[in-house]
Chains A and B, each alone.
Chain A
């Protein structure tokens, strides 16, 4: 069985400040890792994913996440946030084989203020 822990339910930050959203997972096997973003009244959108290879993955809008196997973590970072980054962020895992089902954390609400 797999589980995902997002310790911070809310992260308030000022515009242009850096941010880190934490994600830890538990699994008896290796996993694929994902970050999804959910804007108000919308579905989830994939931000980035780690399947294999370089442990640092980047998204097109400036976010990056680093897979740390020893710490079973996949924290999401952005060096400078914008008001438009205000949204709920979900970390998720799936097994590397078999079906593409996702196990999500409870989410972290990123609140960016001017």
Chain B
């Protein structure tokens, strides 16, 4: 049973560019959440997708957007990249969106913005 997978593993972009990160949830999971983990910090919640809709959003600007597909996989898009967007981006999946459900994390995509 494959766990949560993310692609690519590493990415280098320059300021002003746009980036798309991808996530496939654990088999049987229908909810995907995205987190940003800056160096030396804990993960910060970006947003959560359930039934192909953004259900909850953290304190991130509109430059951060996402999508969930009918097969529950998800994309995170970041426009107009800033140096401060350099971080590890983690995808987590769970069954259902109810609080308390265990979230399973992927290995992350490490984004470096130059």
Contact = CB atoms under 8 A, between A and B. Distances in A.
Query: Do these two chains interact?
Result: yes
Contacts, number: 76
A101 B33 contact: yes
B4 to A, nearest CB: 7
Interface centre among B31, B90, B94, B105 (most CB of A within 10 A): B105
A67 interface: no
Interface string B77-114: 00000000000001010101111111111111000000
Contacts of B94: 100
A74 interface: no
Contacts of A97: 99
A100 B99 contact: yes
Given A43-B105, A44-B90, A45-B105, A100 B40 contact: no
Bin the interface of chain A by size.
Answer: 20 to 34
A63 interface: no
A54 B58 CA distance: 31
A104 B33 CA distance: 14
Interface of B: 4, 31, 33, 35, 40-45, 48, 55-56, 58, 90, 92, 94, 96-108
9 contacts: A6-B42, A32-B99, A43-B108, A44-B43, A44-B90, A99-B48, A99-B56, A99-B99, A106-B42
Given A94-B99, A96-B99, 19 more contacts: A6-B42, A32-B100, A43-B4, A43-B105, A43-B108, A44-B43, A44-B105, A46-B102, A46-B104, A49-B100, A90-B43, A97-B99, A100-B31, A100-B100, A101-B58, A102-B45, A104-B35, A107-B40, A107-B41
Closest 8 CB pairs of A and B: A104-B42, A43-B105, A44-B105, A99-B56, A43-B107, A100-B99, A101-B45, A100-B101
